[in-house]
Structure 1
Amino acid sequence: MAKVVIFDSGVGGLSIFSELVRLMPEASVVYASDNAAYPYGDKSERYLKTRVKACLDTLVQYHQPDMVVVACNTASTVVLPVLRAHFSIPVVGVVPAIKTAAQVTNNGVIGLLATPGTVTRVYTDDLIIRFAKHCDVIKVGSRVLVDLAEAKLRSQTVDLSRLKQELLPFEQAPVRPDTIVLGCTHFPLLLSELQQISPSIRWVDSGSAIARRVRTLLEQQKKLKPEHAGIYQAMFTANTTSVTQLKPYLFQLGFSALSILPIDEAFTVFSEPMAINAVTVS
């Protein structure tokens, strides 16, 4: 049976998880959240390279997956070359869907809504030069949307006024973008609210494309077995109140077990994974 590790600093990667299991219900998934170091968006590149590699070393050794998906735009734009050189299994990253946006825009103006780190990275500028050179690109970095998405999955009401405030740079532009890239995996979790505020905008993310890429690679490895149903586990690097608050949503998504794999700031695992009130699926 195919097994995939999806890795993120928070819960944004659950948007990738949903696309992946919709396309491949036969694949087993370990969703690993490095919530001890959340958020990644304000971390240095040096820190991220060390931290992400240390976490994935532990996860790959423990779970022996067929593939890793780095479901974090910030980490992907920094760490992918390091991970691909280090691991023998495929490592799939998530980058802003700028190419897609540039292909579907009608007025030639697109927006990029991502974390402050992602919008300022050279990697992002290179994507714009390669795929959207003919477009005007308005970049907006937001930390607020990450927090709103995290809160939403813990059953808290999304503050639409705060969300609207974050979109003002697009609304106040000389020419309003008709297409906006959701350049952080957290942001598709707020799609219904974004559509409510700006129904005429075409919102683009890379979730479905990533799922198709994972499926192609697993088919090449002949790992997919349609007769099997996937098993979904969630792991966190810190046992916090927010993890407990997240449990009902994880249950809805079909996760059968939650556990803690503590990894301290020195990037060392100091205990075996601890089960935390495993979710029972009836």
Structure 2
Amino acid sequence: MSAAQRPIGVFDSGIGGLSVLQALNRALPQEHFVYLADNAHAPYGEKSDLHVQQRTYAIAQHLIRQHGIKALVVACNTATAAAIHELRQQHPLLPVVGVEPALKPAAQITRTGHVGVMATRGTVQSAKFARLLGSLQDQARFEVCACNGLALAIEQTTLPSLEESASAEVSRLLRTYTSAMGRFGQGEGEIDTLVLGCTHYVFAQEALQQLVGNGVRLVSTGEPVARQTQRLLESAHLLRHGTAPQHLGSRVQLLTTGHLGGLQAAAQRWLQLGARHCRQADPI
């Protein structure tokens, strides 16, 4: 198999990175993907930096050795903040793309100058996030909220035994955190732009939009990550050519270190892919 024919690796602590996979698939419809959900160790956003770093390095090694990936997308804000610098040093020849809360795009589009940011505790407490936030202080006012428990609750909505209670918890947490940030709207001083700083939160955006109002822009990271992945593959001459775009189901493997049923339900709900596309990952 030529280098260009190899798959792109994508991983997250759970099912949140499927939102990034959706964007990658739209931008790169000829590419093949291996997606790994580290559900057995989720959520990363409430774990120590050391734990997240160890999992990130181990998963990268697994995807390289077992699946021969040609590029790696770290579809997790927490893992990007904690580990991507060292990851790039460990694998200097591998194109590595991370995600970060879309503060820069939000600062460019806000009209009131007031931006809300929802992210995990691990992300908002990271040095990488602090540097990003500091670089934009003169461009907008940012209301940052560490949303403990939200990623996990969204994750649990895919488990049949927990779906009802988890959905109620998602609704409760969304109300709590949006209320804590302040007033949303297009009036003077109101928050008119909301950054979804965790890939899981994209799957709650419909409920979020209802809470904050249709006049508030929700900004996520999937599309910019897909564009950056395309640019890196193109510059490295690793874009897959010569085949017509096919349905994602023929081009993706979905793996989990945790509960297989949860990944299967998420794949069906958000990718329209059946259970046969999902399997348990080898021990990592």
Among residues 239, 249, 266, which one is paired with 1:223 in the alignment?
A: 239
> 1:99 is matched with which residue?
104
- Are the aligned partners of 1:232 and 1:254 in contact in 2 as well (CA < 8 Å)? no
Say whether residues 1:84 and 2:88 are aligned partners: yes
Q: Residue in 2 aligned with 1:141? A: 146
Residue of structure 1 equivalent to 2:126: 121
User: C-alpha deviations, 1:248-271, integer Å up to 9, x for none?
Assistant: 3376147852222243xxxxx4xx
Would you say how many aligned residue pairs link Structure 1 and Structure 2?
264
Q: Which amino acid aligns with 2:210?
A: Q
Structure 1 contact 68–91 (Cα < 8 Å) conserved: yes
> Residues 181 and 204 of structure 1 are in contact (CA less than 8 Å); yes or no, is this contact kept in structure 2?
yes
CA distance in 1, matches of 2:192, 2:241: 41
Kindly indicate whether the alpha-carbon contact (under 8 Å) linking 2:77 and 2:100 is maintained by their aligned counterparts in 1: yes
For residue 41 of structure 1, give the secondary structure of its aligned residue in structure 2: helix
Which structure 2 residues correspond to residues 23-42 of structure 1 after superposition, within 5 A? 23-42=27-46
Query: How much does 1:244 deviate?
Result: 5.0
Structure 2 residue 17 is matched with structure 1 residue 17:
no
Q: 2 CA distance for matches of 1:119 and 1:71?
A: 16
* Ranges in structure 1 where 5+ consecutive residues have no aligned partner: 264-268, 270-282
Task: Give the TM-score taking structure 2 as reference length.
Answer: 0.85
User: Following the alignment from structure 1 to structure 2, what is the Cα–Cα distance between the partners of residues 70 and 203?
Assistant: 21
Is 2:278 the counterpart of 1:258?
A: yes
- Percent identity over the alignment? 31
User: Distance in 1 between the 2:183 and 2:29 partners?
Assistant: 43
SS in 2 for 1:186: helix
Do 1:110 and 1:177's aligned partners in 2 also have CA atoms closer than 8 Å?
yes
CA distance in 1, matches of 2:156, 2:23: 21
Contact 1:233/1:256 (8 A) holds in 2: no
Instruction: Label 1:39 to 1:101 Cα distance change in 2 as closer, same or farther (>3 A).
Output: same
Q: 1:274 is matched with which residue?
A: none
The answer to whether the 8 Å contact 2:36/2:255 transfers is yes
Distance 1:215 1:144, change over 3 A: same
CA–CA distance in structure 1, aligned partners of residues 275 and 33 of structure 2:
9
The residue type paired with residue 248 of structure 1 is Q
- For 2:255, give the aligned amino acid: M
Q: Which residue of 1 aligns with 2:223?
A: 208
Map residues 148-167 of structure 1 onto 2, 5 A cutoff: 148-154=153-159, 156=163, 158-159=167-168, 160-167=171-178
8 Å CA contact retained: 2:38, 2:258? yes
Letter paired with 1:179: T
Instruction: Return the structure number with greater helix share.
Output: 2
CA shift, 1:92, in A, is 0.4
- Residues 29-80 of structure 1, C-alpha deviations (whole Å, 9 max, x = no match): 1110111111111111122212210121112111111100000000001100
Structure 2 residue ranges without an equivalent (≥5): none
State the secondary structure of the residue aligned to 1:225. Answer: coil
RMSD over aligned CA atoms reads: 2.3
Q: 2:150 & 2:143 partners in 1: Cα distance?
A: 17
Quick check: 2:11–2:36 contact (8 Å CA) kept in 1?
A: yes
Q: Normalising by structure 1, what TM-score? A: 0.85
Q: Distance in 2 between matches of 1:250 and 1:178?
A: 27
Residues in 2 aligned to 1:258 and 1:147: alpha-carbon distance in whole angstroms:
20
Distance 1:244 1:26, change over 3 A: closer
Displacement after TM superposition at 1:178 (Å): 1.1
2:12 paired with 1:8: yes
Q: Is the 8 A contact 2:114 2:190 kept in 1?
A: yes
- Which letter does structure 2 place at the counterpart of 1:164? R
Letter in 2 for 1:242: G
Moved more, 181-190 or 247-256: 247-256
